[in-house]
Amino acid sequence: MAHEFEVREEIVLPATTEEVWEAIATGPGVDSWFMGANDFEPGVGGAGRQTVAGFTTHATVTGWEPGERLAFTTDTAADGSFMAFEYLLEGRSGGSTVLRFVHSGLLTGDWEDQYDAVSVGDGLYLRKLEAYLRHFPGVTADYALFEIGRPTPDAARVWAAFLDAFSLGQPPEKGRVAVPGLNPDDAQVVFAESGFLCVVTATSLITLVHGYRDAVVAEHHAFPGEIARPLAESAWRAWLGENF
């Protein structure tokens, strides 16, 4: 049976509506803070695509008002499930933007677990967007990684490994990248809660996630000056393999 859902979020972003639009409505912009590889064809009726871990989700743009409103809906799956997304932008004095976000649709199967995941994750990904706009204004990521480790139900063990990856204590605030093979840069915590640990360095935005179905994920958005993609891929795959 399909179950309707809706999640609403609101956040103030340190960027103009034009800058926020570039971050939510273009492939390079979305790749700089969200998961996977993303692409949009501009205009109502345009095709949208997101590829995560080799699986591509297709969507259709249903609202396209640059600097004001973006909406799109995924294709309906065989079981009737789909998701719809809407971003509403409102400029504020001083160059900031209020973003109002609505995520709705139909969930099937283990819909309660899926809802728990999106209801927590949506707000935290918007905080990643805020961190991207704050720390890397005017640039997009050179590459974005989405590396998956083995499902691990032991939340305490996973969280301890997350903290160790950045030499963080309690409460986690400032540390240093300690994953072998990555640059040992200073790391500032953006947020650390609900199985998500997000840090920013001088050249990267990194998020470790312990989420849906106990999945362990490393997301690494690399900006100018970061190590080459093959080196980062190798480092994260080795770290995930050793710890999970």
Amino acid letter for position 113: D
pLDDT (0 to 100) of residue 178: 99
- Residue among 37, 162, 224, 108 nearest 29 (CA): 37
Residue 53 sits at φ, ψ, to 5 deg, of 55, 40
- Residue among 146, 144, 145, 142 nearest 223 (CA): 142
Q: Tokens 């840069």 appear where?
A: 185
Query: Please, which residues have CB within 8 angstroms of residue 156's CB and are 6 or more apart in sequence?
Result: none
* CA pair distance 73, 191, nearest whole angstrom: 29
How confident is the model over 31-49, as pLDDT tens digits? 999 999 999 899 999 999 9
Torsion sign over Cα 177, 182, 185, 190 = negative
Q: Report residue 110 as tokens.
A: 């283990």
Domains of the chain, first to last: 3-135 (3.30.530.20), 143-243 (3.30.310)
DSSP state, 26?
S
pLDDT (0 to 100) of residue 80: 92
* CA pair distance 30, 66, nearest whole angstrom: 15
pLDDT (0 to 100) of residue 135: 98
How confident is the model over 225-242, as pLDDT tens digits? 999 999 999 999 999 999
pLDDT (0 to 100) of residue 113: 86
H helix or E strand, kind and range, residue 111: helix 111-135
Please count the other Cβ atoms lying within 10 Å of the Cβ belonging to residue 69: 15
Q: What angle do CA 59, 64, 70 make, to 5 degrees?
A: 70
Please count the other Cβ atoms lying within 10 Å of the Cβ belonging to residue 220: 24
Secondary structure E strands in 43-96: 47-52, 55-65, 69-74, 82-91
| Under-50 pLDDT residues of the chain | none
Residue 198: alpha-carbon gap to chain centroid: 10
* CA pair distance 148, 111, nearest whole angstrom: 22
